[in-house]
Structure 1
Amino acid sequence: MVEVRRLNERGIEAFENYISGLSNDGGLTLPLGILTDDRTSEPLDIELTVNHLAEFATRYDMGVYLVDLLKQVRSQQLLGDSGFWTWLALCWFDQLCPLDSKGKRKPKKPYNYVLSPNWNHRPRHALYTTWMLVANHRESARFMLSKKPSARGELIEQLAARQYFMSCRGVIEAAHRIYFDSSPDFS
């Protein structure tokens, strides 16, 4: 377990530089020191600890963990906190952007890991969106989050691009019934 912090401006910039550097050398060492270094991160105003070694089978499982973690705090405190969400993405970067068979990482756009102030990019943040979907829609969000933590499906991209759909419980519940089969696979 590790105490959750937030990346400061310097820490966010260092993480963004790391992500950008992966396009040239996908084997760069993950800069986990950024998480605890006082020059790149700072304590939260609240006490939270996270299992940084937790492994999640699906993005939904990751969302359930985050909902449980954040149920003890007012979510408004952390809702738009880029440093907090970016810290979490770096903490679990091995799952969000795992090494391939050649020991290289192939990251998506930086805003998938660094919570952007641009509202058009915010729904693409791997953890923020995952948490929000599970917090707002519980089991009905499973159909969008049933892949590995590193995978994003086309369905979530399309729904996340339309804020109305993401916040409308009826739309999400209907889509869950249409797109998710909870029956056991006997093949």
Structure 2
Amino acid sequence: MTEAVPEPVKVNSVQLASRKEAGRLLLEWVEGAGLERPESDAGLWTWLSLLLFDSTCPVDGNGMRKPGKYNRHIAEVDNWQKRHRHLLLSPFLVYRAHRDQPDRACVLLCQQVHKPGDIVTQITERQEYWSNRGVIEAAGALYIDPATGKQRVGAQNKSKGGVRRFADVLNQLDLNWYLYGMSAQELIEYLPEKEFSRFLTKA
């Protein structure tokens, strides 16, 4: 089945260098087509995943493709806890939320499309986090090396100071504080210094 779009837009299969590039291009395509609520269109994201399969599921050194779990390619648009796992819908949503300053969300957009990693997984599980300027800037200050624009070593550790612990602290703070009203610096000041010391000295 196909569905007409309000405005014709030309799309091509391209190789995407990063989630940031994916978000920018997808936003350009979606807005160019005049689509409303594209995040609710499962067919759209499945089709785009196939179109951009060389980016979402590239051939490895042995000439094989490893698609992984189905929701990396088939969006669960009605499940807000899982729709972020789609390899194209996720960067689209993040880029659109921070379109005024995409580099702010570097912590969620610097990765390869097919390898989002644990930082993306942990922070995008809740919309209140990935759409929150303070949270995103705090995470970027902790886990992104400003000299390279890439993740710092140890950022994905499951132990002290890693992104999973950062998400745990956010969950605790969210019980008593309005996170949308907090700046990145305020959030960082509430992090347990002993646990996050290796990253706090760099933030």
Would you say same fold, with TM above 0.5?
yes
Match for residue 137 of structure 2 among 173, 176, 182: 173
Partner in structure 1 of residue 93 of structure 2: 132
Runs (4+) off by over 3 Å:
71-77
Partner in structure 2 of residue 164 of structure 1: 128
Report the TM-score when normalising by structure 1: 0.69
Identity score, percent: 32
Amino acid of the structure 1 residue aligned with 2:127: Q
- The CA RMSD measured in Å over matched residues stands at 1.9
Report the TM-score when normalising by structure 2: 0.64
Structure 2 unmatched ranges of 5 or more? 150-203
Shift of 1:177: 2.4
Q: Aligned partners of 1:74, 1:167: CA distance in 2, in Å? A: 23
Q: Which has the higher contact order (CA 8 A, sep 6+)?
A: 1
Q: Aligned partners of 1:110, 1:83: CA distance in 2, in Å? A: 14
Q: Aligned partners of 1:64, 1:179: CA distance in 2, in Å? A: 22
Shift of 1:77: 3.5
Encode CA deviations 1:87-129: one digit per residue, 9 max, x unaligned.
1011011111111122211112111111113222111111111
- Whose Rg is larger? 2
Q: Is the 8 A contact 1:159 1:166 kept in 2?
A: yes
Partner in structure 2 of residue 86 of structure 1: 46
C-alpha spacing 1:102/1:61, structure 2 compared with 1 (3 Å)? same
Aligned residues: 144
Structure 1 unmatched ranges of 5 or more? 1-40
Q: Secondary structure at the match of 1:42?
A: coil
